[in-house]
Structure 1
Amino acid sequence: MKLKERAAPFALIALILLLWQILSLSGFIPAFMLPSPVKVGRAFCSDFLLLMYHLKITLAEAACGIFFSVAISLFFAVFMDRFSFVHRAVYPLLVISQTIPTIALAPLLILWFGYGMQSKIILIVISCFFPLTISLLTGFASVDKDAINLLRSLGATKAQIMRHAKIPSSLPYFFSGLRISASYSIIGAVISEWLGGTRGLGVYMTRVKKSYAYDKLFAVIFLISALSLVLIKILSIVEKRMIKNEKK
């Protein structure tokens, strides 16, 4: 990728921030409605240690949620790929699970499982399970039929076909779903903390919102956005390395 192409998104972000700062300084946008980027940056620096404390909690919840989501979705995807009747029975339920707003589920999960990490992790799993499972199923279906027939002719078992044909073929699809799930996990953790919790970025956001410290609220929003971008970038690097190793 050329340097200009890499710099284009950063240049656009810088332009938006500059325009935002100019509008704030000119008084066109009242400070109580939209604090300037400079004020947001100062708020971030002043509460840096507190933000990092809450960030650790949110990241721990997101990491646990992603781990269980991958394990459960892999199990269901393999099972649904193996048995077509299971696929027909379970797939509609997966779709239905995504029609329920997470903001409606969070209070129920807190009521059932309490204010600890358990309710947050379950909400993250519900949010991330669908894109991961669908991505894996799409990857399994995309495998070259001739490759499967060749393995069968060599006496390969279904487990061997899954290991040597379907799983390598599904890696790009899997990481595509994983990138989506990574951003969902952060959002799900923050929403669940917002609606009920004692620690985490969502709890911090509710506290600063009640005190009308909107500069600190925007600081958290920027932090969450940056964190999601970093996670997506890390997963892209891991994907390239894994696919490269599979081709060797």
Structure 2
Amino acid sequence: MTSGKGILPAALLIAAFLIIWEAAARGVNMMFILPPPTGILSKLWQLKEPLFFEHLPATLSIIVIGLAISVILGVGIAVWMSISPSVEKAIYPIIISSQMIPIIALAPIFVLWFGYSIWSKVVVTVLITFFPITVNTFDGLKSGSKELKELLLTMGAGKKEIFFKLLIPSALPHFYSGLKVAVTLSVIGAAIGEWLGAQAGLGYFSRRMMTQFDGAAVFAPIVLLSAIGIVLFILVKCIENRSLKWRKIE
């Protein structure tokens, strides 16, 4: 876990940034373009009911469903590729190619297919988040010690024992690394989907406020989106620390 001394420099840097932002915003005096942090917090408080009780739950549902599908899909594909070289040769290039197409270009197509339902946003989130989970988990499954594998084989272990006693423990740190990247990307995926077509959500609310030239109201849901990403990252980190007690984590 990070110590208090380790957090202090980051806290001081963030405080300095916010002070400079506040001074610059008030100096420019163009609140509809560059609102000060205090103005954003004030607007966040004013809009707490629609943001927290209507749009936040809509965005969270997209993130949770998208991440759940990505974990199941990503881990499943990674395991499948690790046990079958032919599957790896067939699927791995497709997985890489899926990240070459800009998601922002595909999102409108998903809106055409699924309409303004939650699933158009979920698909965008899955496309963004499944890649780091799949690649990191696959690399982890491939990182198992050959010496330990040979030792287990000489002791009469079968494929099942090798998979559960060697490959999974080797893959877990990699899986969590991919998941920590995925949870932050899931917020971006949900926001992109909502920006391009939605009836509720923090991304949708931010885009709607742009048409009203209300800078503070545009930034308010962005603050919440950032907070969601931070909380999810910390949650995954806590789960990682608890499940990997056998491994020293700095």
Structure 1-normalised TM-score? 0.94
- Map Cα deviations across residues 108-131 of structure 1 (whole Å, 9 max, x no partner): 011112211112111111111111
Distance 1:117 1:24 in 2: 36
Structure 2: any 5+ residue segments left out of the alignment?
Answer: none
Equivalences for residues 86-165 of structure 1 within 5 A: 86-165=87-166
Q: How far apart are residue 85 of structure 1 and its match? A: 1.5
Letter of the aligned partner of 2:161 in structure 1?
A: Q
Q: CA deviation at 1:159?
A: 2.4
Matching of residues 1-40 of structure 1 within 5 Å: 1-25=2-26, 27-28=27-28, 30-40=30-40
8 Å CA contact retained: 2:58, 2:201: yes
State the Cα distance separating 1:75 from its structure 2 match: 1.1
CA shift at 1:29, angstroms? 5.7
Distance 2:3 2:70 in 1: 36
Q: Distance in 2 between matches of 1:9 and 1:126?
A: 32
TM superposition shift of 1:30: 2.8
Question: Contact 1:168 / 1:246 at 8 angstroms: preserved in 2?
Answer: no
- How many angstroms apart in 2 are the aligned matches of 1:173 and 1:136? 6
Deviation at 1:155, TM superposition (A): 2.5
Q: Deviations over 1:145-186 (max 9, x none)?
A: 111112222222222211111111111110110011101111
TM value normalised by structure 2: 0.94
Identity of aligned residues (%): 37
What is the CA-CA distance between 1:107 and the residue it aligns to? 0.7
Alignment partner, residue 65 of structure 1: 66
Which stretches of structure 1, 4 residues or longer, exceed 4 Å deviation after superposition?
Answer: none
Aligned residues: 246
Q: Which residues of structure 1 form unaligned runs of 5+?
A: none
Instruction: Tell me how far apart the structure 1 counterparts of residues 32 and 204 of structure 2 sit (CA, whole Å).
Output: 21
